[in-house]
C-alpha cells in the first residue's frame, strides 16, 4: 500500500483530478444509462473506485529496488592534475573537481549528459548510478551559453575556438582578446562584477553554466550563486603546481563543449613540445657546466599575484601559489639549497644561518650550477614568495634555474625583508616582483632593493609583456594554454637562448626585462 499512498496525498489531488474536469456532466449521463440497464448502484460505485485507485497507483514513482544498477565503477583517466579527475561512469562522462581553501577541500562531482542521453531522463538513480554519485550536478552538453568568471577559463575557451559561447565575464577591462574585449565594452558580453548586482546579472543571462572559482577571500560569491537555480562549476586550475597540470584542464572544456578530440590534440601537442624543450635545456646546461645559455637575454619573466594585490583581478589570486590560507612562515636560510646540504654558518651581514657550501669568503652565495633565482616582493617589511613546490618554482626548475627556496615543500612562503636582504649578493635573476611594472615603482616601495645583485645587474623580469586593450595581462589568459611557449620565453630570460628551441612560436613573449621595455 505504501507505493500507492502518494496518489492519495492532498497535494497530489489537484493534479490527479485535472484530467476529469469537464467530464462530470458526461459521467452522470452515462451513470443513468447504466442504472437503466439494471447494473446495481453499489457494484458500479465499487468498479469506479477501483479505477480511480489503480490510476493513482500507476502515477506513482517506481520502487527504487526495481531500478537496475549499471554495475560498474567509475573509470578515471590518468592525469597529472591534483585537482581534477575525469572519466566514465555508466557510459557517461563524469568529473570530480577539487578546490583547496586553507585546510579545507571542496569536492564537487559532475555528470555530463549529451542530448541523446538526457532525453532518457536526468534522474541518476533511475539511470543506475551508485549512491555516492546521486548528488552529482547533471549538465547537458554541449553547452551553448557560459559565464566565465576567471581569465583562465576564458583562455581555455579561446584556445578551443569557443569565443561565441561566452556570454558573461567577471570584468571586461581585464580581457586580453580584442574581440571579446570589444563585446564586453558594447555589453553584448556582460561584465558581471563583484557588487550586489552581480547575482542579478547572472540570473538575467540564464547561462547553461557559471564557471567560477574560490580563493577563500572577500570576493568569493560562489555560495550565493549556488543558492540559485543556476548550474555552477568551481575550477581550480590556478592552484596547479606545473604548466602541464594546468593545461590538462582543457580536457574538461573539451567535454563540456563537445570538442574533446580537439582538446586532447592541443594537450598532447603542447606536452610533447614542453618535454622536448625541457630536455634541451637540461642537456644544454650539462654541456655548459650547468648554465643553459651563455648570457641572460632581454625579455620577460613570470609574475604572480601577491596577496595584497589580488583583490579585483578577474582570475583570482594567482597561478597556484597565492591562496590567502596557504601561507607558510619558515626560516629563509633553511630553505636555500645547492647540492648536498652543509653545516650552516652565519653570513657576515645577517644573523640568519646560510649553508657553508653557498658562502665564499666575502659571504656571497656562489652560483655553482645554474642562475640563482629570487621571486616575490616585500610589502610592509614582509616578503611574499612562492614555495618550493609551487607553479613558479617548478617553472624555474624546468627552465634551468635554481630557485633559492627549492628545498621547501609548501606553496607559499613569507619572510622578513631582512632575511631576504641577507641573500642580496646571491641573487642572479629576480622574477615576479609582485604587480610592479617599473623599477621606479619598486624602489618607491622599498629603496633597499637597490642593493640586491639582480637589481644592480638589471636582471629583473616581469610577465606583462603581452597586454590587452586596457588592464588585461595575457599571462593569466593565453599563457596557460601554451606551456611550451611559456617555458621557451622564460628560459631565454634567465638562461639565454636555448639551442634547438627555434621550432616553437616565438611570438609569445609574456616575460620582459623591466629595464628595457
pLDDT of residue 249: 98
Q: 471 vs 47, 171, 174, 177, 320, CA distance in Å?
A: 77, 10, 5, 12, 21
Distance CA 467, CA 497 (A): 24
CATH of domain 289-513: 3.40.50.1980
Cα angle value 304/86/177 (rounded, 5°): 40
Q: 369: helix, coil or strand? A: coil
Q: How far apart are CA 223 and CA 212, in angstroms?
A: 11
If 0-12 CB within 10 Å is exposed, 13-18 middle and 19+ buried, where does residue 184 land? Answer: buried
Nearest to residue 201, comparing CAs of 224, 175, 193, 166?
193
Q: Which three-class secondary structure state does DSSP give residue 502?
A: coil
Q: Determine the Cα–Cα distance for residues 139 and 143; give it in Å rounded to an integer.
A: 8
Q: Tell me the C-alpha distance between 489 and 399, whole Å.
A: 9
- Give the whole-angstrom CA distance, residue 107 versus residue 118: 24
Phi, psi of 495, rounded to the nearest 5 degrees = -125, -15
> Each residue of 390-443: pLDDT tens digit?
999 999 999 999 999 999 998 899 999 999 999 999 999 999 999 999 999 999
- Calpha distance 421→418 (Å, rounded): 5
Q: Is residue 143 within 8 Å of residue 131, measured between CB atoms?
A: no
- Residues in the chain with pLDDT < 70? 1-68, 285-368, 500-503, 517
- Specify the residue for cell string 651563455: 294
User: DSSP H helical segments within 382-433, as ranges?
Assistant: 391-398, 417-421
CATH 3.40.50.1980 in the chain is located at 81-260, 289-513
Whose cell is 616575490? That residue is 376
End-to-end CA distance of the chain: 80
Please report where in the chains the cell 552529482 appears, as a residue. 136
Count, residues in the chain: 517
Residues linked to residue 412 through DSSP beta bridges, in sequence order:
386
Nearest to 208 by CA among 157, 163, 256, 158: 256
In degrees to the nearest 10, what's the CA dihedral of 371, 377, 383, 389? -50
Distance CA 86, CA 141 (A): 15
Q: What is the DSSP string of 323-342?
A: -TT---B--GGGT---SS--
In angstroms, rounded to a whole number, what is the distance separating the alpha carbons of residues 324 and 309? 12
In degrees, to the nearest 5, what angle opens at C-alpha 476 toward C-alphas 470 and 477?
75
Q: How far is the CA of 364 from the CAs of 114, 338, 357, in angstroms?
A: 62, 14, 11
Helices assigned H by DSSP within 240-310: 243-247, 250-256, 260-287
Helix 41-59 with 10-17: angle, nearest 10 deg: 110
In angstroms, the CA 390 to CA 320 distance is: 6
State the Cα–Cα distance between residues 148 and 477, nearest whole angstrom: 12
Please list the alpha-helical segments (H only) found in 379-429: 391-398, 417-421
Query: What is d(CA 401, CA 395) in angstroms, rounded to the nearest whole number?
Result: 9
Q: For strands 84-89 and 92-101, give the pairing.
A: antiparallel
- Alpha-helical (H) ranges within 389-504 are 391-398, 417-421, 439-445, 453-456, 483-495
Q: Is 256 helix (H, G, I), strand (E, B) or coil?
A: helix
Query: Among residues of the chain, what percentage have pLDDT more than 70?
Result: 70
* 131-173 residue pLDDT tens: 999 999 999 999 999 999 999 999 999 999 999 999 999 999 9
Fold for the domain defined by 81-260: Rossmann fold (3.40.50)
pLDDT at 267: 98
Q: Return the H-helix or E-strand segment holding 168.
A: strand 166-169
Instruction: State residue 289's pLDDT score.
Output: 55
Amino acid at each position: 500500500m505504501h507505493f500507492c499512498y502518494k496518489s492519495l496525498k492532498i497535494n497530489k489531488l489537484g493534479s490527479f483530478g485535472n484530467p476529469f474536469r469537464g467530464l462530470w456532466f458526461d459521467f452522470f449521463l452515462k451513470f443513468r444509462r447504466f442504472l437503466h440497464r439494471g447494473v446495481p448502484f453499489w457494484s458500479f460505485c465499487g468498479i469506479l473506485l477501483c479505477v480511480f485507485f489503480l490510476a493513482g497507483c500507476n502515477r506513482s514513482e517506481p520502487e527504487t529496488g526495481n531500478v537496475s544498477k549499471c554495475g560498474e565503477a567509475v573509470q578515471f583517466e590518468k592525469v597529472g592534475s591534483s585537482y581534477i579527475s575525469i572519466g566514465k561512469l555508466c557510459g557517461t562522462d563524469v568529473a570530480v573537481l577539487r578546490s583547496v581553501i586553507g585546510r579545507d577541500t571542496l569536492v564537487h562531482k559532475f555528470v555530463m549528459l549529451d542530448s541523446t542521453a538526457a532525453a532518457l531522463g536526468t534522474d541518476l538513480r533511475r539511470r543506475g548510478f551508485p549512491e555516492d554519485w546521486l548528488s552529482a550536478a547533471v549538465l547537458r552538453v554541449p553547452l551553448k551559453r557560459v559565464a566565465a568568471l576567471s581569465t583562465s577559463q576564458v583562455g581555455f575557451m579561446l584556445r578551443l575556438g569557443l569565443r561565441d559561447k561566452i556570454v558573461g565575464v567577471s570584468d571586461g577591462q581585464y580581457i586580453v582578446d580584442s574581440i571579446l574585449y570589444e563585446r564586453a565594452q558594447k555589453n553584448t558580453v556582460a561584465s558581471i562584477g563583484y557588487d550586489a548586482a552581480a547575482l542579478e546579472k547572472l540570473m538575467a543571462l540564464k547561462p547553461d553554466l557559471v564557471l567560477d572559482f574560490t580563493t577563500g577571500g572577500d570576493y568569493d560569491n560562489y555560495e550565493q550563486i549556488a543558492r540559485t537555480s543556476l548550474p555552477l562549476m568551481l575550477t581550480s586550475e590556478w592552484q596547479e603546481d606545473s604548466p602541464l597540470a594546468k593545461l590538462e584542464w582543457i580536457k574538461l572544456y573539451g567535454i563540456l563543449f563537445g570538442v574533446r578530440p580537439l582538446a586532447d590534440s592541443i594537450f598532447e601537442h603542447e606536452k610533447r613540445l614542453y618535454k622536448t624543450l625541457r630536455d634541451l635545456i637540461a642537456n644544454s646546461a650539462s654541456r655548459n657546466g650547468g648554465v643553459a645559455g651563455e648570457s641572460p637575454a632581454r625579455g620577460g619573466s613570470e609574475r604572480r599575484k601577491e596577496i595584497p594585490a589580488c583583490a579585483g583581478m578577474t582570475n583570482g589570486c594567482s597561478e597556484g601559489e597565492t591562496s590567502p590560507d596557504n601561507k607558510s612562515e619558515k626560516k629563509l636560510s633553511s630553505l636555500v639549497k645547492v647540492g648536498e646540504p652543509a653545516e650552516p654558518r652565519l653570513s657576515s651581514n645577517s644573523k640568519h644561518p646560510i649553508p657553508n657550501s653557498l658562502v665564499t669568503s666575502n659571504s656571497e652565495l656562489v652560483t655553482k650550477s645554474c642562475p640563482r633565482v629570487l621571486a616575490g616582493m616585500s610589502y610592509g617589511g614582509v616578503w611574499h614568495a612562492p614555495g618550493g613546490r609551487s607553479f613558479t618554482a617548478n617553472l624555474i626548475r624546468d627552465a634551468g634555474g635554481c630557485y633559492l627556496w627549492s628545498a621547501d615543500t609548501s606553496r607559499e612562503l613569507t619572510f622578513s625583508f631582512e632575511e631576504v636582504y641577507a641573500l642580496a649578493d646571491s641573487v642572479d635573476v629576480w622574477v615576479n616582483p609582485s604587480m610592479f611594472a617599473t623599477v621606479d615603482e619598486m624602489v618607491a616601495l622599498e629603496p633597499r632593493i637597490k642593493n640586491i645583485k639582480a637589481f644592480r645587474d638589471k636582471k629583473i623580469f616581469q610577465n606583462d609583456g603581452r597586454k590587452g586593450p586596457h588592464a588585461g595581462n595575457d599571462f593569466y589568459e593565453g599563457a596557460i594554454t601554451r606551456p611550451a611557449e611559456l617555458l621557451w620565453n622564460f628560459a631565454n630570460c634567465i638562461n639565454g637562448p636555448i639551442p634547438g628551441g627555434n621550432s616553437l612560436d616565438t611570438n609569445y613573449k609574456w616575460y620582459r626585462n623591466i629595464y628595457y621595455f
